[in-house]
Amino acid sequence: MWNYKKMIKEIEKNGYCKINNFLSERINKKLLLIIEKNYLKKKKTKYSGVPSRDGEDKILYNLQNKDYNFIKILSDKRIIKIAKYFLNDPYYRFLSDDKPNYILNYFNARSSGKKLDLHIDSWIPYGGKKTHMMQFVFLLEDSTETNGCTVVVRGSHASGKYTDRNSKKIIKLTGVAGDLIIWDSRLWHGTLENFDKKSRWAIVTTLSSWWIKQAMDMPRSLPKKIYKKCSNFEKQLIGYCSIPPKDELTRINTKCGYEVLK
C-alpha cells in the first residue's frame, strides 16, 4: 500500500524518493518493446542541437507522439496524487480544485552512455518548499553502478544554488525494471558512465506547473489518432488547456477549462 505522506515528506526533505515495483512486469515489457521498435526506426535520424556528451546515448523523443500507452501511464492515480500536491496551481479557477492542472513538459526515453555531470532541470536554482517542475523516471531495465545509474546530492534542491560538480556527497540511485524514481527538478543529479555498454532504458518524464513553457510544441504535434484516445485530463496534460490565445478577440486568458477541448 502506498504511503503518500511518507513519499511527499521524502521528496520535500531529500529532493527525491524511489518507489519499488511501480510498473507491472507486463506493462514494463510492453513499453520497452514499443521503445525499442521506435528507436530502431529513428536510430539514424540527425537531430539539431544535441549536446556532444549525448553522442553515445540512445534517446527517443516525444513519447506522447509515439504511442498512447505512454500517456496512459501518466494517468495513474498514484502519479496524479503526488504531482497535484507539488505542481497544481491552487488559483487556476478554470478547473475545479479536484482536477489536475499541471502539464507535461518533456517526455523522452533514454539509455545513457557517457557520464552526465551534476545539473539541475529547473533551469534556475531557487530556495523554498515550492517546486514547479519534477521528474518521474520509470526504469524499464535494471539501473546499476556499472551501466550508468542516476546519482543525486541529497537535499540539494533546497540549496538555492547551481551545482557543485566536484561534490563528494553523491548518492547512487540503483533500481530494477519497474521501479519509479521521482525528484524535484532543482535537485543536483546526473548519471555515471555506462561501462557495460548495454541498454539501460528509462522513461524520463518532466511534469511542470501549467505556466512553464513546454520544451516541445506538444498540442500542435500530437497525432490526431492519439488525441482521440485521450481523456479530458490527458488532453489538458498535453497542454490543450493552456495554449496562449492568438489575440484578445479569441480570449483574454491563457488558462482554460475542458470547454476548449473537442
Comparing C-alpha atoms, which of 141, 144, 145, 151 is closest to residue 116?
151
Enumerate the domain spans of the chain.
Answer: 4-260
Alpha-carbon distance of 87 to 59, in angstroms, equals 26
Query: What φ, ψ does residue 112 adopt, rounded to 5°?
Result: -75, 155
What is residue 126's predicted lDDT score, i.e. its pLDDT? 96
Please give the mean pLDDT across all residues of the chain.
Answer: 95
Largest CA distance in the chain: 57
Question: Is there a contact between 132 and 157 (Cβ–Cβ < 8 Å)?
Answer: no
User: At residue 68, does pLDDT exceed 80?
Assistant: yes
- pLDDT band of residue 262 (cuts 50, 70, 90) is confident
Decide which of 47 and 10 is more confident: 10
Asked whether the whole model's pTM tops 0.85, one would answer yes
- Mean pLDDT score, 64-72: 98
What is residue 36's predicted lDDT score, i.e. its pLDDT? 97
What is residue 44's predicted lDDT score, i.e. its pLDDT? 82
What is residue 1's predicted lDDT score, i.e. its pLDDT? 65
Cell numbers placing 40: 530502431
| CATH number of the structural domain 4-260 | 2.60.120.620
What is residue 28's predicted lDDT score, i.e. its pLDDT? 98
The pLDDT tens digits of the residues spanning 73-109 come to 999 999 999 999 999 999 999 999 999 999 999 999 9
What is residue 43's predicted lDDT score, i.e. its pLDDT? 82
- pLDDT band of residue 197 (cuts 50, 70, 90) is confident
3-state secondary structure of 15: coil
What is residue 119's predicted lDDT score, i.e. its pLDDT? 97
Alpha-carbon distance of 83 to 74, in angstroms, equals 10
- Mean pLDDT score, 171-190: 98
User: At residue 202, does pLDDT exceed 90?
Assistant: yes
